[in-house]
Amino acid sequence: MSSLPVDLIALPRRWRPGGLALKRSLFAGIGRVLARRDAINRINVFPVADGDTGSNLAFTLSAVEQALRPLRLRSAGGLLARAGDEAIDGARGNSGAILAQFLQGLGERLADQPRLDLAILAQAAAHGAAQARSAVAQPREGTMLSVIAAFADALRDASAAGAADLRQGWRRAVAASRVALARTPEQLAVLRKAGVVDAGAQGFVDLLEGMDDYLARGRASLAARQDYQGGEAGVVASAEHDAEHRWCTECVLSAEAIERDRVRAAIDALEHSSLVLAGTRQKLRVHVHLDQPQQLFDVLARFGRVGSCKADDMHAQQRATQARSRVAIVTDSAADLPDAALESLPLHLVPVRLNFGAQDYLDKVSLSPSEFFRELRENPLPPRTSQPPPGDFRRLFEFLLSHHEEVVYIGLSRAVSGTLQAGESAASRCAAGRVHVVDTRTASCGQGLLALEAAQWAAQGYSAADIVARLQVLVARTQVFAYVRDLSHVVRGGRLPRWTLPITRWLRLAPIAAVGKDGRLHLTSVLRVRAGLPQRFARWIVRRLGAVPAGCKVLVGHCDNPDEAEQLAAALRVALAQCTVDIVPVGAAISAHAGPGAIVVGVLPPG
């Protein structure tokens, strides 16, 4: 064992921090990770080059900080136990889940310790490191696991060598972690080829260094927490490190007694990769990469209650890391648009949540339009939609801001949903002025056309200010019309009054609705339900539009009614020869209210 550094000789002996000192130290470490998130994102090439490790670690640790900030826990062990619990709830991504399991393991061993000393911390760190490694289905050296192990080993060695003060052992362990971080490219070929260290391991070292800064500078390190940015991190992730599966899927499984081996075996029956199971016997954070997120949620439902579901499109994330546009466009799944647009444009989707009873789904992610209607036919329980939580928006915004200068969110009409407010809440917590929110005052095909137009402008190099200004002009001129074959879903959702339902059924009428300037759906006219309904609707739309300028874009959406959508599109292509007319299936966010058979038409004038 080497001799102590000179700067440690003058430290007071037997420093044993309680809850308050540990909390301040932890907050200093979290602040370092938050300040470094973009740099960490830029070196993320393993296990998938999706450029979000910094954002995931920041999100995980922000959940810990938010929960701990109002608490006045005198016990250091109690504080770490609470930190571990909150990390499991808030964990995001592979690295976030591993870090959460390490913190949970620390807290598990330290929960009854009012103050920490080196020997106690060394034992707990060894337990936490073992727990973190066991959480990963296929652990690899050269990752965060290696650096966590080096940190724990150094604490153990310092304690065994008789280091008298926790700070002595801590600083030796931080130094050992830096060495282990520098070695990660030697252990993983993908890191060596990219010329970077492991992103998750870098984030863990940043956390330790921030805490170490508190030891050296005290509360001054907290005041300066947002100032540290560090040097430029390596290279942008290369396109050749493709994701083996598309969706980075996560949820929390809760039950009285979870048998982790049985859960792991059930997941192993699915085609998957990057499995991490972090947590306790009562609460398990599940992280896995696969192609069908709902398969995971359905499998886990056999073991307990499944909540906090999310799925990130890693293919879209990889495209974002390689994007050249200054601006990224975000919309929510109430916008109906062609799938190809999400593959070719800087356009990203936040899914609306919905459920049939206790079964939860993510619109257009874990439940496609066709799967929604199959469930609607077979499930006796009615579907219910709910807005995405602000955290869904914030996670995507912060990731995109790591790779683009600005973000523009094209949102569902404020008048009919709280989805836009959730996006605004998330935007207010991101970098000041870099996320812009646009109320489309419409939905479905109208919202989709506006999002497509914005994404095309972004791809052409327009600034966020230019895109927002152009959108504000188009929002007032975009029109959406729909006919509904069964008003029961619209009435149940409160979009139309109850008296309309028996009248339309008795007279065999298909009500025509339009989105007004107030962003709400209004009953405008009716058509008889008989042969030629799509063609008659086309003639009604043409009369309503009047003179149509060349270059208009028309999008026809259908709720499990492709035949009538094709007939309507064909009629519109003849009547509006100067317009482009495309067809899309309508997602569950709209179909849950419009019902089977409904047809939606959005018309966007040239911008």
Q: What is the pLDDT of residue 219?
A: 66
d(C-alpha 103, C-alpha 84), whole Å: 5
User: Is 394 domain-assigned?
Assistant: no
Is the pLDDT reported for residue 399 higher than 50? yes
- The pair of structure tokens assigned to 154 is 């150094």
Whether residue 487 is contained in a domain is answered as yes
pLDDT value for 6: 33
| pLDDT reported for residue 12 | 46
Contact (CB, 8 A) for 194 and 237 = yes
Distance, in Å, from the CA atom of 160 to the CA atom of 149, rounded to the nearest integer, reads 16
Each residue of 162-215: pLDDT tens digit? 886 888 899 999 999 999 999 999 999 999 999 999 999 999 999 999 999 988
Average pLDDT over residues 231-236: 38
Q: What is the pLDDT of residue 3?
A: 38
Count CA atoms closer than 13 A to 585's CA, side-chain side: 17
pLDDT at 348 over 90: yes
Higher-pLDDT residue of 18 and 507 is: 18
240 versus 294: the higher-pLDDT residue is 294
Tell me which of 164, 193, 223 is where a domain ends. Answer: 223
158, 191, 223: which is the final residue of a domain?
223
pLDDT at position 49 is 85
Which of the four pLDDT bands, split at 50, 70 and 90, describes residue 230? very low
Distance CA 441, CA 420 (A): 10
In a domain, 107, yes or no: yes
pLDDT at site 56 = 92
Residue 257 has pLDDT above 80, yes or no: yes
In the three-class reduction of DSSP (H, G, I as helix; E, B as strand; rest coil), residue 201 is classed as helix
15 band by pLDDT with thresholds 50, 70 and 90: low
State the chain's mean pLDDT as an integer. 89
Whether 347 is covered by a domain: the verdict is no
**C-beta atoms surrounding 229 within 10 Å:** 10
Which pLDDT belongs to residue 504? 63
SS3 356: strand
**Structural tokens at position 330:** 């975000």
Pick the more confident residue, 523 or 95: 95
Nearest Cα residue to 594 out of 475, 511, 507? 511
Residue 206 in domain: yes
More confident residue, 125 or 531: 125
Tokens representing 45? 């090439």
Length of the chain: 607
Please identify, among 193, 223, 253, the residue that sits at the C-terminal boundary of a domain: 223
Tell me if 297 is assigned to some domain: no
Q: What angle do CA 106, 188, 58 make, to 5 degrees?
A: 45
Nearest alpha carbon to residue 391 among 121, 112, 63: 63
- Residue 355: DSSP 8-state: E
State mean pLDDT over 568-588: 96
CATH of residue 600's domain is 3.30.1180.10
Residue 564 inside a domain? The answer is yes
Per-residue pLDDT reduced to its tens digit, 451-470: 999 999 999 999 999 999 99
Residue 446 has pLDDT above 80, yes or no: yes
pTM above 0.85, yes or no: no
CATH code of the domain in which 166 resides:
1.25.40.340
Its domain, for residue 572, covers: 479-604
How many domains is the chain built from? Answer: 2
Residue 1 domain-assigned? no
3-class DSSP assignment, residue 311: strand
